[in-house]
Structure 1
Amino acid sequence: MTALSRRGLLGTGALAAAMTTLPSPASARTRAAAASADVVVVGAGLAGLTAARDLVAAGRSVVVLEARDRPGGRVYGLPLGDGTTSEGGAEFVGPTQDRITALARELGVETFATYNQGKNVYLRNGRRSLYATDGLLGAVPPDWGVVDLGIAMAKLNDMAGEVPVGQPWKAARAEEWDSQTFHTWSRANAVSGGARFLLDAFVSSTLSVRSRDVSLLYVLHYIAAAGNAANPGTIDRLINTRGGAQETRFAGGSEQIPARLAARLGDRVRYGAPVRAVETTDGGVTVTADGITVTALRAVVAMSPAIAARIDFRPGLPAARAQLAQRFPMGSVAKFVAVYDTPFWRAEGLNGQSVADSGAIDATFDNSPPDGSRGVLMGFMNQTGIRRLDAAPADEVRAAGLDSFARLFGDRAGNPVRTAFQRWDNEVWSGGGPVGVTPPGALLDFGPALREPCGRIHWAGTETSDFWTGYMDGAVRSGERVAKEVHAAL
């Protein structure tokens, strides 16, 4: 990807004039402002920042409006209370995630391998067991229904191979697959309780919803999207650490990428500016946000469909797009982190990864720094597990998280130096995570509206990506796509 040129960083004359009216983030709340540019981007997550980068590199003037006081969106450095952070949002990357890794290299953000030496923990029906991940099924626990599960996984890979990436509604069996939930399919195609639980766990750990909440077609496309143009997506790539989507982490935290990208864009990014309205006229768009109004020729809305629907679009969006947004809810997830003097589980032959059928946390990873100078355990509180704790006081969330860690890794795990957590359901500008999902019928009837521009309004965000939907890589891909789309339309 072309790096920002000096010309691009300086911007066009129109942008330079616009930026004279743009106050710094520190003064944004004290006075209103007006600005104009070729393009206004709503959202400074990876999708919006990537789109802005590419448009500026193409010589276009850009203003980015961000509701939060930071860049990154669902990529977030969670403060640990000692001046350091751990990934509170998206963090892992793996093979075929080409665009996020290319962006990281451009920005000078290095990677390191996720700790994966030793055995995983499996907690099922009150019994704790350990297992290696170098077998045929990789990270899949060796439950007694493993053969049943293997057959079901092979079926899923075969069906996903029939789904056109980026256009699942065009699959030959789209109506059949979008007329049932993943839960319905799994019960019809897996007999054993173990296989059914692990299929449910796959959906919970990747989408943070119950298998009854999501369309089979959506899941099949999610699998198909776990690849690139040269490598078909597979369920194995989604769930595995080695050779899979959890293989690698970013040095200093994934938040380094949006932070450095936003720094390159400089004063083009306006923080503390939630967008309230987007008005389209024959000549352009007017975007009204807290503290600033921006007029532009085109707008890019780089947000999840559910959150984008909060904006007052004038005139109203086409029915297909409005209806799609009503059928694209966010998953429910929190990340719980505990810090220890050392990663003690490593000495016990464990890699910090686990799957559990009970407790507040249903999956864990070793989030320790590369040098292992201290231990950091991270746990996902998914779907029902976090919904029950959304309104709970912090002490209750902490107790629930530590109880899960102790059951999985022993009493030492229940006595950390400190803890921290991020409840994404309670985060007003995300409303959940890690990704929006669709129930039966939504993709078939409304899917084409996901990326289709609405006049001068264009759509980005990881939900709109073809490959790696729901991941940082998908967000970057969507930003690159929409930048080309907008540049061609100007």
Structure 2
Amino acid sequence: MTEEDSTECVDVVVVGGGLSGLSSAYHLSKRDSSCRILVLEAKGRVGGRTETVPLQGAGGQDVWDLGGMWVGRTQLHILQLLQELGLQTYPQYTSGHAVMQLGSARVAKYRSDSGIPNLPLHSLIDLQLFIWKVERMRKLVPPGDPGRCLHAREWDSMTVETFKQKNLWTQAAKDSVDVACSIVYGVDASRISLLYYLYYTSCAGGLFPLIETTKGAGQELKIKGGAQQVCELIVKKVGRQNVWLNQPVTHITQRADGVTVTTAGGRTVQAQRVICSIPPHLAGRIAYSPPLPMERDHLTQNMPVGHTIKYVVTYRRAFWREKDFNGAVVAYDRTSDKDGCDTGPIQIAYDNTSSNGNPALVAFMCANYAKQWASRSADQRKAAVLRKFAEYFGEEAKDPLDFAEKDWGMEPYNGGCPVNIMVPGLISSFIPALRRPCGRIHWAGTETASLWCGFMNGAVQSGIRAAVEVLSATSPQLLTEDDRQELVAVPQEVETPAKEAHRKKSKKVASVLVGAGLVVGTSLAVYYYIKA
């Protein structure tokens, strides 16, 4: 019998060597040092949707993230893990003007610290009224169980696009929502259930923490040395011999006394429990015996993954900072027909200067825009991105030190990024199957999180929760009270500087609305008085 034909026997198999799967393995090893754990990763690397690569910087070679990269101070699971691993964070650069190009060809700039984007007054009012409505609605959606929302069937029957068209009337405001959907979910508003949109927002504790870079928001901090090292350091903790690379799982067979896991390479592993931590659409491609319940099977067939292409561009100088720009861009440039695409190549961008001070910018093209640009050559995409940066920040942008792109739609055993979304009708009928174990199979992955779903924090939280489920079934005496809380964890409404800043912004807009109402009312009164 050859090594390839041999059968390995362990206690728990973890399918997927990303942040959620490795968090499960790490938590199990901490709670029960005698537990035999084996992680099976399909790729030739660990990290899942994180990937850190070396590039040439102004001060020599440095590293940048081509996948997940941000954390925030309210994301307690990932911050605790970073502390345990000895990793540090540094703030996203936000000082100076941001750039906005929405609703027209005009490129506008505004002070990020003002909290008010440079939109026409009527568009700003339109957008603020929409935000207020979303915030009221999302508070009615329990992040632990969105199907319990009293309006679940109504809101799950429509898309964000339908809701947007009913509640917005200016193009710039509609563009703002479109860009936010594209970058947060990687898909267009026409594909997302409104209930899922509200649920996802609730998992982050609000709309502003979800989309902003201010203190307390999801894009507040970056990890020194890159995000992929989180997974690499966990591998050292659980033992490299317990993580097998290049082993995509093809079959999972359950029996009364255990589980058999088979890989495409012909490896067979016997275990007591399995934690499946890969994205839902990939979990649906595994052959299960006996078949999974209909609810779980239907769920995985209706959670498409987003499409994101990410760019990192390094420079000799942070010339945008010298011009009082912070590198932030929000754009929906429909005037651009470069290379035959309907929109410009950048939907959002940020300053991406490394912790070592090497200047860089990062940009994203997402959803249908990414689909269009993906059909162009790499040289065309590079030229288009540099042209846009030059339009926003000056001609120096056309002379980078280094340039890297990552099309996550082409990544084997991911097939997309940043998250799998839910289509209309899915939550109200099938949401319990998202986390509910199927016999001896437990489900992890950031899509299953109740805290910061879709983010690295969600991956860690879901991994811990799945590990706790396994321990509850095998060694309940090892569980702590904190472990038990993970089974019912929901986000707390934490007051953050981001929320406070937007509360002030809301008051400003409200003042504008009141002032506009007084002007209109007074004008009408004068008009009718004169007419009378």
Q: Is the pair's TM-score, using the shorter chain for normalization, greater than 0.5?
A: yes
Distance (whole Å) between structure 2 residues aligned to residue 91 and residue 314 of structure 1: 37
Report what 1:142 is aligned to: 119
Task: Tell whether the 8 Å contact from 1:109 to 1:256 is kept in structure 2 after alignment.
Answer: no
Displacement of 1:347 in angstroms is: 0.4
Compute the displacement of 1:371 (Å): 4.1
Q: Which amino acid aligns with 1:260?
A: L
Of structures 1 and 2, the larger Rg is shown by: 2
Structure 1 distance, partners of 2:252, 2:383, is 44
Label 1:371 to 1:58 Cα distance change in 2 as closer, same or farther (>3 A): closer
Q: CA contact under 8 A between 1:123 and 1:408: conserved in structure 2?
A: no
Question: Percent identity over the alignment?
Answer: 37
Q: How many angstroms does 1:128 deviate by?
A: 1.1
Q: Which residue pairs with 2:43 in the alignment? A: 68
Q: Give the aligned partner of residue 480 of structure 2.
A: none
* Distance (Å, rounded) in 2 between the aligned partners of 1:241 and 1:389: 26
Q: Which residue of 1 aligns with 2:396?
A: 412
Instruction: Determine the C-alpha separation between the residues in 2 that align with 1:427 and 1:210.
Output: 20
SS in structure 1 opposite 2:313?
strand
Q: 1:172 aligns with which of 150, 153, 160?
A: 150
Q: Deviations over 1:355-374 (max 9, x none)?
A: 011211100011111342x3
The CA distance in 1 between the partners of 2:409 and 2:444, in whole Å, is: 21
The superposition leaves residues 148-188 of structure 1 with CA deviations (integer Å, 9 ceiling, x where unpaired) of 11111011111110001121111010111101000111111
What SS does the aligned partner of 2:114 have?
A: coil
Within the alignment, does 1:127 sit opposite 2:106 as a pair? yes
| AA partner of residue 107 (structure 1) | L
The match for 1:198 is: 176
Instruction: Quickly say closer, same or farther: Cα 1:106–1:141, change in 2 above 3 A.
Output: farther
Between the aligned partners of 2:413 and 2:375, the Cα distance in structure 1 is: 17
Per the alignment, residue 317 of structure 2 pairs with: 342
Rate the CA distance shift 1:414–1:22 in 2: closer, same or farther, 3 A. farther
* 2:528 corresponds to: none
1:277 match: 251
Give a deviation string over 1:9-56, Cα, whole Å, max 9, x none: xxxxxxxxxxxx999xxxxxxx45531111100001111001001111
Q: 1:131 corresponds to which letter in structure 2?
A: Y
Residue 255 of structure 1 is matched in structure 2 by 228
Q: Residues 186-210 of structure 1: CA distance to partner in whole angstroms, max 9, x if unpaired?
A: 1111121111111112211211111
Moved more, 427-436 or 80-89: 80-89
Tell me the amino acid that sits aligned with residue 130 of structure 1.
K
Counterpart of 1:483 in structure 2 is 467
Equivalent residues of 1:277, 1:313 under 8 A apart: yes
Written as runs of structure 1 = structure 2, the 5 A alignment for 1:4-19 is none
Q: CA deviation at 1:338?
A: 0.9
Secondary structure at the residue paired with 1:453? coil
Give SS of 2:24's match: helix
1:238 aligns with 2:238: no
SS at 1:285's partner residue?
strand
> 1:337-367, CA deviations, whole angstroms, 9 ceiling, x for partnerless residues?
1111111111010111110112111000111
- Compared with structure 1, are the counterparts of its residues 385 and 404 closer, same or farther at alpha carbon in structure 2 (3 Å cutoff)? farther
Match of 1:220 among 198, 211, 214: 198
Q: Spell out, residue by residue over 1:309-335, the C-alpha distance to the aligned partner (whole angstroms, 9 max, x if none).
A: 111111211111111011000011011
Find the aligned partners of 1:83 and 1:133 in 2 and give their Cα distance: 31
- 2:332 aligned partner: 357
- Residue 420 of structure 2 aligns to which amino acid in structure 1? G
Give the total of aligned pairs: 454
Computed over aligned residues only, the root mean square deviation of the Cα atoms, in angstroms, reads 1.7
The match for 1:5 is none
Does residue 369 (structure 1) correspond to residue 346 (structure 2)? The answer is no
The one-character-per-residue Cα deviations of 1:421-474 (angstroms, maximum 9, x if unpaired) are 110001121110100001110111111110011111110000000010000000
Distance in 2, matches of 1:192 and 1:477, equals: 39
Write the mapping of 1:320-339 to structure 2, written as runs, cut at 5 A: 320-339=295-314
Q: Deviations over 1:67-105 (max 9, x none)?
A: 111111001113436854311111111131000011001
C-alpha separation in 1, matches of 2:81 and 2:120: 39
Shift of 1:375: 1.6
**8 Å Cα contact 2:108/2:118 also seen in 1:** no
On the 8 A contact 1:239/1:245 being kept in 2, the answer is: yes
Aligned to 2:524: none
Partner in structure 1 of residue 505 of structure 2: none
- Preserved contact between residue 88 and residue 421 of structure 1 (Cα < 8 Å): yes
Q: Distance in 2 between matches of 1:251 and 1:197?
A: 34
8 Å CA contact 1:93–1:248 kept in 2: the answer is yes
Aligned partner of residue 388 in structure 1, secondary structure: helix
Q: SS at 1:166's partner residue?
A: coil
Among candidates 258, 268, 283, match of residue 293 of structure 1:
268
Q: Residue 240 of structure 1 aligns to which amino acid in structure 2?
A: E
- Greater mean deviation of Cα atoms: 479-488 or 380-389: 380-389
Q: What's the secondary structure of 2:197's corresponding residue?
A: helix
CA contact 1:390–1:426 (8 Å) conserved in 2: no
Instruction: Give 3-state SS (helix, strand or coil) of 2:260's partner.
Output: strand
Deviation at 1:234, TM superposition (A): 1.0
Unaligned runs of 5+ in 2: 334-343, 475-532
Seen in structure 2, the aligned counterparts of structure 1 residues 406 and 34 have a Cα distance that, compared at 3 Å, is farther
Q: Is the 8 A contact 1:79 1:420 kept in 2?
A: no
Greater shift, 81-90 or 443-452, is seen at: 81-90
Q: Please name the residue that 1:101 is paired with.
A: 79
Q: Distance in 2 between matches of 1:180 and 1:45?
A: 33
- Does 1:151 find its partner at 2:126? no
Alignment correspondent of 2:69: 91
| Residue 184 (str. 1) matches residue 162 (str. 2) | yes
For the residues of structure 2 that align with 1:344 and 1:196, how far apart are their CA atoms? 32
1:408 CA displacement: 2.4
Q: Which amino acid aligns with 1:191?
A: W
Q: Tell me the distance in 2 between the aligned counterparts of 1:401 and 1:313.
A: 44
User: 1:445-464 residue pairs with structure 2 within 5 A?
Assistant: 445-464=429-448
Alignment of 1:311 onto 2:311: no
* Aligned-pair CA distance for 1:304: 1.1
What is the CA distance between 1:141 and its match in structure 2? 4.4
- Provide the residue aligned with 1:51 in structure 2: 24
Show CA shifts across 1:226-285 (max 9, x none): 0xxxxxx11111121112111100001111211111121121111111111111111111
Q: CA contact under 8 A between 1:90 and 1:254: conserved in structure 2? A: yes
Q: What letter is aligned with 2:397?
A: A
Note if contact 2:94-2:112 (Cα within 8 Å) is conserved in structure 1: no
Distance in 2 (CA, whole Å) between partners of 1:22 and 1:365 is 52
Moved runs in structure 1, 4+ residues, more than 3 A?
81-84, 140-144
- Name the CA shift for 1:141/1:309 in 2 (closer, same or farther; >3 Å): farther
Using structure 1 for the length normalisation, give the TM-score: 0.90
Q: Secondary structure at the match of 1:276?
A: strand
The amino acid that maps onto 1:200 is D
Query: Secondary structure of 1:115's partner?
Result: coil
Aligned to 1:134, what secondary structure does the other structure show? helix
Give, as a single letter, the amino acid of the residue that structure 1 aligns with 2:153: E
